[in-house]
Structure formats: structure tokens, C-alpha cells
Structure 1
Amino acid sequence: MPELPEVEVTRLSLADRIAGATIQSVRMGKPLRWPLGLQPERLVGRTVSRVRRRGKYLLLDLDEGLLLLHLGMSGSLSFADFQPAAGAHDHFDLNTSRGVLRLSDPRRFGAVVYAAAEDSAEAVKLLGRLGVEPLTEAFDLASFHAGLKRRNAPVKQVLLAGDLVVGVGNIYASEALFLAGIRPTMRASGISRPRAEKLRIAVRDVLARAVAKGGSTLRDFSNADGQAGYFQLEAMVYDRAGQPCRVCGTGVKSIRQGQRATYFCPHCQKS
């Protein structure tokens, strides 16, 4: 599933190229997770002013309204001067004066939703409960630690929930907890302020490095230029069950949490 770094890498790969483009036509394929919210032809003639990110959503600001794009479990965006004929998994084409933006998604959990404004009901429904952005100054120790203290769930589940800090998906939660020396099963409310600071720094470090590496390509992720990511090649614990820890040599363990695989080192992450 594309996580925050992959979405940010996608944004960076197309933002400058599509900014200022005029929408010329829209092609809709099979229905996605949610309806577009207006007739596609009503987008024709509007201009893309910029591309932002909020959590795992890409926001295409238009001169009138905005489009919210989500990649779902297996979606990807590509932007090119021309696109080949749409295949079975190509569900949305935004034809513009600067190229064609295509959403491809084999499982159709992705979405493209129109909203009149970011504070409109459609946008608030999708964005309103998202936590703080981890790569901004708003992700401060006081707020983060206070949020952890209010939750009795395992800390990895709290990170994944997205209402405290947004965009820390399964790969990066495992990696951040390893760097902070915190076991994924530890109750969030039991984490001290100094350890919360280690975790906050680890989250920022892991996500920033993942963006710099182009994200993680475990299956089919690529950015809008078709380029894969390489962060997974330097993962410390994720997807390394049974392999020696890169720090201490102890075998990496894997458990299930909330139907997701969690990876940790039982020596480096004792509690």
C-alpha cells in the first residue's frame, strides 16, 4: 500500500509539470472507491494551480475547487505527454494541456473526489480526522507525548491509526519503532517523555529518508515518471523475519497486529 513517502514522491514527480495546466477532457473507467462527485465534463476548462499532499491524499488545487486523489491499496499515478490506450486497470485520465494524468489501480480501492473547497463537506469527510503532518514543525514533542498518554493501545497501532500523526504506515512504523528502541506491543500510554522524543525523531528520520530514496517498492509502486523506490533495501527490520538484526545479530521476529505484519528485534526493542 502506498504510504506517505510514496505519495510525497509521487507529488514531487508531477507537481511542477502539471501546475498551470488546463483540463481538456476527463475519462472515467470502472467505478473507484467513491464517486467523483460531479459530472466529469464540468472539470473541462479548469486550471490546475498546484499539487499538495495531506496524509496519503494528493490535493490538486484548481482555479475552481480541488480534486482529492487517493492511491488505495495498489494504485499509482503516471503523468506523461501521451498515454497508451487505457487498460482494464486504468480508471481515470485527466487530459490536460501539459500531459495526461492517469490513475491505475488493479484493486479499485483508490479514489478521485471533487470538492468545492477544502472546508466543504466532501473534503472534511476525508481529511477532517487526519493527525498532524510528521514532517512539519507542528509535529512537536508536547502534543505527541500527550496524545500517546491518552491511548492504551499498542504503540504501533496508535501510529497506524493516523489521528495522532498522519501517514506513518506499516513499513515506516516498524522501522521508526526499531530506531527508537521501542517494542511495537508496548502500550502507548506507558511511553515516557524521553522515549516519546526518540520515537518522534525516528518517525521524522525514517519518513524523510524514505522520501529521499524514492519511497519503497515492495510490489508495484512507481512514481508519476514510472521510477521505483529503494528505501526497502536499507530496512532494518521490515520484511526481514528470521534474518539477523543489522545492529546486534539477533533474529528479527514477526507478529500479527491488527491483521498486519509487525517486525522487530527482541534484543534492541526489549520494551
Structure 2
Amino acid sequence: MPELPEVETVRRALAPVLEGRTLVRVVARRPDLRFPLPEDFGQRLTGRRVRAVRRRAKFLLIEIDDGTVLVSHLGMSGSYRIHQGDKPPLEKHEHIILLTDEGTEIRYNDPRRFGFMDLVDGGQLADYPMLKNMGPEPLDDAFDGAALTAALKNRQTPIKAALLDQTVVAGLGNIYVAEALFRAGISPRRKAASVAGVRAARLVPAIKEVLQEAIAAGGSSISDHRQPDGEPGYFQHRFAVYGRQGEPCPGCHCDVSRTGGIARITQSGRSTFYCSRRQR
């Protein structure tokens, strides 16, 4: 599933071609994605001007001039493609088509249809069920060691599970939690409440650095993620631990045949990768 860097990469690509533009045609080629599309979806957007393209956690928020917000979640396989000039033939899984007054066509493609789109009154966005209990944005200045310490107080779950809880911090997923914990030298098994003070102050910069580097690399393409220009992301080539079971971690000179290298365990039904010697 796309995590914060992948969604932010999409947002940065969509903003220049959508912001300030009028949607002259909006076509839904099927009535549903993960959920049914809002009634009169295309008609409600056609003729409207896009004010801004924002992101909250793993959600795209496209603000429309009548106060409506188009909420878009990519699910497992959703992606946007931007076409200017000559347009290629429509593909089977290109379900939503947005055409701007500048002639740019934006297509939403989702083979598995785990993504969704909804139209929400901007004044009610804070109470939207998918967003209302979200934690802080990890790249905001307000997210610091003290804020993380407070969010983790009394939490007895492993720190890996706590960081995946979107009410603790918004937008993190399996890949970037694993990478941030490695950089911070913190075991994914450690109780969340114990990641306080100095440990929290070490972890927050690691989270921010991993996310910023991943965004700069266009995200990570392991299976479905593609940037709106069709290019894959490249951060997967810089993984320190994720998906590298049995390999040495960066900067490690241990005997992998003896230590086993990077370990893989299962936590809450998901794979966790870490170095048991460097992460405590």
C-alpha cells in the first residue's frame, strides 16, 4: 500500500496541472471503486475550478472552488497518470478521467479497486470518519521528541505497532517504520512507552529523514507504485533493512553465516525487518 512518501510524490505531480485549472470533463467509467462513488460524481465536479491539492496522511485532498473536497485514497494498486498532448488509448483499469481546461488529462488507474474517492463538504472535513482521529503529520515542525513521547505514554504494544497506528502519527507504514527504527537504533520489539526522552528525540529525526529522502526519490516501487509520469520510485534501492532478510545491514561487518544477518519476524500479521545487534 502506498505510504506517505508515495502519496506526497503524487500530490506534488498533480498540483501543477490541477491547481487553478477548471475541470471541463469528469468521467467515472464505473460506479464504484472500493466503495460506491458519490451520486452524480462527474456532474458535481465538471465545470468546477481546483483551488489546491493537499495531502493528509495517506489521503489526497483536492479542494474545489465550491467548498467541496475530493478525498482520494490509492488503496493497494491505485495510481494517477498525467497525459498532455496526444493521449494514449484508455486502459481497462483507468476508472476516473479528469480533463482540465488546459487540455491535460489525469487518469486514475486501479486494477484491484482497493482505493476510493469521496466528495466531502470542506467544512466537515475534520469530522470525516477516515480523517478525524488522525495523529500529527510526521514532517510538521510540531512533531518532535516531546510530542512522540506524549503520544506513546502508557502504550505497552511494541513500538513498531504503535508507529503504524495512525492515531499516534499519520502516514507511516511498514516500510518506513522499519527503516526509521533501524536508523534510530531502536528494536521494533521494544515497548512503545519506553521510547521516550532521548530515544524519542533520536527516533523523530530518523522518521523525518527517511520520509524526506523517500519523497526525493519518488517513493518506493515494490509492486504497484508509479509516479504520475509513469516512472517508478527509486527509494527501494536504498533500503537498509526492509526486505533484506539474511543480508548484512549497512556498515556491518559481522559474519552473516553465524549471525543470520538482518532478521525477519512477524508482528501483528506483518513482516518486520531489523538488526538485532544494532537495534535495542
Deviations 1:83-106 (A, max 9, x none): 433332211112221312211111
Q: Please tell me the root mean square deviation across aligned C-alpha atoms, in Å.
A: 1.5
Name whichever of 241-250 and 147-156 sits farther off: 241-250
The letter of the residue matching 1:111 is F
CA distance in structure 2 between the aligned counterparts of 1:78 and 1:124, rounded to whole angstroms: 27
Deviations 1:137-196 (A, max 9, x none): 121222210111231111111111111111111110000000111111111012231001
How far off its partner does 1:220 sit? 2.4
Cα 1:118–1:264 shift into 2, 3 Å: farther
Aligned to 2:75: 72
2:242 to 238, 241, 251: 238
**Contact 1:248/1:268 (CA < 8 Å) preserved in 2?**
no
Name whichever of 28-37 and 66-75 sits farther off: 28-37
The letter of the residue matching 1:73 is M
How far off its partner does 1:247 sit? 2.2
Q: Does 1:100 align with 2:105?
A: yes
CA distance in structure 1 between the aligned counterparts of 2:185 and 2:224, rounded to whole angstroms: 30
1:264 to 236, 249, 274: 274
Aligned to 1:126, what secondary structure does the other structure show?
A: coil
Cα 1:83–1:164 shift into 2, 3 Å: farther
The letter of the residue matching 2:204 is R
Aligned to 1:175: 179
CA distance in structure 1 between the aligned counterparts of 2:123 and 2:131, rounded to whole angstroms: 9
How far off its partner does 1:199 sit? 0.8
Cα 1:118–1:226 shift into 2, 3 Å: farther
Aligned to 1:127, what secondary structure does the other structure show?
A: coil
CA distance in structure 2 between the aligned counterparts of 1:137 and 1:8, rounded to whole angstroms: 17
Deviations 1:196-231 (A, max 9, x none): 111111101100111111111111211111121111
**Contact 2:76/2:224 (CA < 8 Å) preserved in 1?**
no
Q: Does 1:25 align with 2:8?
A: no
Q: Does 1:59 align with 2:69?
A: no
How far off its partner does 1:27 sit? 1.6
Aligned to 1:150: 154
**Contact 2:148/2:196 (CA < 8 Å) preserved in 1?**
no
**Contact 2:125/2:131 (CA < 8 Å) preserved in 1?**
no
CA distance in structure 1 between the aligned counterparts of 2:33 and 2:133, rounded to whole angstroms: 22
Structure 1 unaligned runs (5+)? none
How far off its partner does 1:249 sit? 3.6
How far off its partner does 1:35 sit? 2.8
The letter of the residue matching 2:121 is A
Name whichever of 158-167 and 19-28 sits farther off: 19-28
1:196 to 193, 200, 207: 200
How far off its partner does 1:118 sit? 4.7
TM-score by length of 2: 0.91
Aligned length: 269
Structure 2 unaligned runs (5+)? 255-260
